[in-house]
Structure 1
């Protein structure tokens, strides 16, 4: 589960990836977040992505023991935190262990996130529906095209 594996897995699925830190504020940047990672609102829970997810999915901040995060690895934007070859960090919920260095593990999960493309308002005259890795537009009457930006000829 190298850093390149996590990145390639997410990009192949049409998704992006968060880093160890959320990057939402200056306090959550530092050496654990980089511009290649998505920013997300940690809701005041924590800068660490695993604590935020554990809070939402398991009801507490004990992310190392959250079964829903078992065998998940997150991208690290720095090489200072772990071995520079792998630069990922993972969780083994069975043993409540976190900080597992990705270079020693295979066939695990990459933490990826779907970007909401509808936030960019791509549908000129219609309603946007977000999909994994994309979006679709439902056009208003009289409009067509992928982005509802082509006026249809009236008959």
Structure 2
């Protein structure tokens, strides 16, 4: 079940799914992995990786133990990436560049090869992924539990 909730200019709760609340939180400066992580942690939230958990998609290339693991009761590889899963839940499509709530939202991606870029969505450019180091003052994808506490599930 998707629940949409509060928003202000700096933080938007996108959805709550099976106890995980997903937020987009304004990043100050370039949207690098370091800035995405710092932004989420400063808000008292965790940061998900590109892959939702260690064995998502059958490999762990885009996963880090520092990330918050996103595991649901019906887990499958169709939606093994965090943004793809959230896009499907919010907009009925795994194509995040067709999901306006995810516009200019960036996720932490271990092993980034472009200036520590987080990966993000640009709805106007109909593009996924776009490199966060090429964007400034956009949004980090962050996660907390449904009570918005800092006690988070880690794999």
Q: Which runs of 5+ in 2 are unaligned?
A: 1-30
The answer to whether the aligner puts 1:9 opposite 2:62 as a matched pair is no
Is this contact kept in 2: 1:18–1:75, CA < 8 A? yes
Q: What is the aligned-residue RMSD (CA, Å)?
A: 2.1
CA deviation vs aligned residue, 1:76-113 (integer Å, no higher than 9, x gap)? 1113xx31x22311100122111111111101000000
Is this contact kept in 1: 2:84–2:96, CA < 8 A? yes
**Alignment match, 1:92:** 122
Q: Which of 64, 79, 82 is matched with 1:49 structurally?
A: 82
Runs of 4+ aligned residues of structure 1 deviating over 6 Å after TM superposition are none
> CA separation of 1:101/1:26 partners in 2, compared to 1, >3 Å: closer, same or farther?
closer
**Alignment match, 1:133:** 150
Work out the CA distance in 1 between the residues paired with 2:124 and 2:103: 7
**Alignment match, 2:23:** none
Superposed displacement of residue 23, structure 1: 1.3
TM-score, reference length from structure 1: 0.69
1:140-155 matches, within 5 Å, as none
Aligned length: 119
TM-score, reference length from structure 2: 0.69
More moved, 36-45 vs 62-71 = 36-45
Relative contact order, higher structure (CA 8 A, sep 6+): 2
For the pair shown, the structure with the greater C-alpha radius of gyration is: 1
**Alignment match, 2:51:** 21
Work out the CA distance in 1 between the residues paired with 2:121 and 2:62: 16
CA deviation vs aligned residue, 1:104-153 (integer Å, no higher than 9, x gap)? 1101000000146xxxxxxxxxxxxx23436xxxxxxxxxxxxxxxxxxx
Work out the CA distance in 2 between the residues paired with 1:77 and 1:105: 18
Superposed displacement of residue 28, structure 1: 4.7
Superposed displacement of residue 33, structure 1: 0.7
